[in-house]
Amino acid sequence: MSQVQMHEPQPDFIIRSRASLEDEHLQEALEKAGSGFVHKRQAAIDRIGNFEQLRDQAQRVRARALKNLDLYLLHFEKKVTEAGGQVHWAETPEQMRELVIGLCQKQNAKTATKGKSMVGEEVDLNEALEAAGVAPQETDLGEYVLQLAHERPSHIVAPALHKTKAQVQRLFRDNHALGERALDEVADIVNEARAVIRDRFLQADVGITGANMLIAETGTAAIVTNEGNGDLTATLPRTHIVTTSIDKIVPTWEDASAILRVLGRSATGQDITTYTSFFTGARSDQDKDGPEQFHIVLLDNRRSELLGSEYEKMLHCIRCGACMNHCPVYQSVGGHTYNSVYPGPMGAVLTPLLRHEEQDNQLPNASTFCGRCESVCPVRIPLPGLMRKLRDREQRERKHAGMAQWAVKLFCKLSRHPAVYRRLNDFNLRLVAIARGRKPRFQSLPFLSGWTRHRDFPAPEKSSFQSQWQQRQKEKQP
C-alpha cells in the first residue's frame, strides 16, 4: 500500500493546519461530524444519574491495573496459555511486525482479515504484511475506505471521519466492479462494502484484531464493535491474532464492566456498543466454532517507561475519542494534521511520549488549554496538564532557546519588579497612543502580525490602570 510518503520529512503542524483549513472536503466532513458526537454523548450521560461516579470508578480501575501491571500481565499470560493460546512480547514496533509476520508465515497465510486496531496502525502493520506476502484486508467500513484511499485513520474511533460521502462513492466506483449497483444512499455504500468483504471473511487464513481490554483474571481479550466485523475476523479464520499493548490490562470481569460503562457513552453516546465480545484462548472441544490458534502480541513501545513517571496517567487512556470530539483544534484541522496515529488531545500527549521526534513537540503546543478534553475524559486524564509538562520538557531538552522564549523570560524578569514594569508600560503606552492617533483599533501591528492578519486589535488608553489608579488616589488625598 501506499504509505510511500511516510518516511519523508513532514511539514510541521502549522503548515499542515493551513492546508487542512483550506481543504474543502475535509472542512465539509468535519462540519458534518461536528457536534454530533458531543450531543450524543451528553444524551447518553443524561439518561443515567451517576455518570460522574462511573468516571471515578473507571479511573480507579485503570490506576489499580497499572499499579500491579507486571503481576496482571503475567497472570494474563498464564491464563491465555492454559486456555490454549499464546502470548508474545514486543518491545518495539519492529518486533511486533516480525512477530505477527512470523505467525502468519507459520500458517502459510496468504490473506489476513483485519479488525480495527490502533496498535496495528502504530506499528504500520499493513505495509509489513503486504511486503511479507500476506494480503491484509481491512473489514471495518471506515478502515476499508481508507485502505482503498491509501490513507491513515484521522480519528481513533471513526477512522474515516475526514471523508465525505461523495469521496467514498468515488472510491467505490474506482475500485469496485459496480455494474448497475447504486451508491446514492449511505445504505447503498454500506451494502456494497458488506457484499465485497463478506467473501473475504470466509476465505481469510488469519484474522487480526485489536483489543479494547485484556482481562487478567481469565486471559481474555475484550473487543467492542458495532459493525460485527471484529467478530467475523476473530471467529472464522483458523488463527486469531490480537495486536494490542501492555497498558490495556484490567484485573477482573467486574473491572471490565467499569470500563465498558464509560467507553460507549463517551465514544459514540451508546450505552453499550452493539457487540461486546470476550475471547479466551483457542477453540476447545466443547466450542461450536472458533479459531484453532489464538495469539496475543503485546506491544510496549515505551509504555513501560511511562509507568511511575509524571506522564503515567496517559496510560489510563481507554481510546474513546471523546477528547478529540470535544477539541476545538481537532475540530478545526482534523486528525491528519497531527501527523500521528493518535491525533487530538490524547495524541498530542501520547505521540511525543511514544515517538519522541522533534516535530512531535509541536503537538502539545497546538492547544489553547481550553480544558474541554479533560472535562469529558471518562478516566479523568489531566490532558492539558500533561501537555504543559511536555512543553516544559521541550524547553529543558532545547539547546538554544528561541526568540519567543527569550521574550517570555525577559517579560517575566521585568514583571518581578512591578514599579519598573509599570513605568515601562506607561512609556510604551505613550508610544502606542502616538501610533494610534484617532483610531479605535489597529489593523496591523509589528510583532503581532499573527493577530492582526485575522482581526483588529483594540487600541489601549494612554496610560495603564495602575498609573490612573495612583493618580486618582492622589487626587482623593485632602
CA-derived radius of gyration, the chain: 26
CB-neighbour burial class of residue 205 (10 A; exposed 0-12, middle 13-18, buried 19+):
middle
| Minimum distance from residue 95 beta carbon to another protein (Å) | 6
| Minimum distance from residue 318 beta carbon to another protein (Å) | 16
d(CA 3, CA 161) in angstroms, rounded, equals 19
Residue 70 or 358: the one with the smaller Cβ distance to another protein is 70
Angle between helices 186-203 and 141-149 (to 10 degrees): 90
| Minimum distance from residue 1 beta carbon to another protein (Å) | 19
Q: Identify which of 305, 349, 388 has the alpha carbon closest to the alpha carbon of residue 338.
A: 349
Residue 260 or 353: the one with the smaller Cβ distance to another protein is 260
Helix, strand or coil, per DSSP, at residue 281? coil
| Minimum distance from residue 370 beta carbon to another protein (Å) | 4
d(CA 20, CA 34) in angstroms, rounded, equals 15
Residue 129 or 315: the one with the smaller Cβ distance to another protein is 315
What residues does 346 pair with on adjacent strands? none
Residue-level length of the chain: 478
Residue 11 or 328: the one with the smaller Cβ distance to another protein is 328
Burial 223-232 (b: 16+ CB within 10 A, else e): bbbebebbbb
Residue 67 or 356: the one with the smaller Cβ distance to another protein is 67
Q: Identify which of 311, 298, 316 has the alpha carbon closest to the alpha carbon of residue 66.
A: 316
Helix, strand or coil, per DSSP, at residue 23? coil
DSSP 402-419: -HHHHHHHHHHHHHTSHH
Residue 6 or 435: the one with the smaller Cβ distance to another protein is 435
Instruction: Count Cα atoms within 13 angstroms, Cβ side, for 471.
Output: 6
> Residues 6 or more apart from 111 whose CB is under 8 A from it?
134, 135, 137, 200, 203, 204, 205, 206
| Minimum distance from residue 41 beta carbon to another protein (Å) | 13
Q: Identify which of 11, 52, 31 has the alpha carbon closest to the alpha carbon of residue 337.
A: 11
Residue 111 or 270: the one with the smaller Cβ distance to another protein is 270
- Sheet of 86-90: strand order equals 86-90, 293-299, 239-245, 206-209, 111-114, 135-138
| Minimum distance from residue 287 beta carbon to another protein (Å) | 5
Residue 106 or 198: the one with the smaller Cβ distance to another protein is 198
| Minimum distance from residue 134 beta carbon to another protein (Å) | 19
Residue 338 or 342: the one with the smaller Cβ distance to another protein is 338
| Minimum distance from residue 20 beta carbon to another protein (Å) | 9
| Minimum distance from residue 271 beta carbon to another protein (Å) | 5
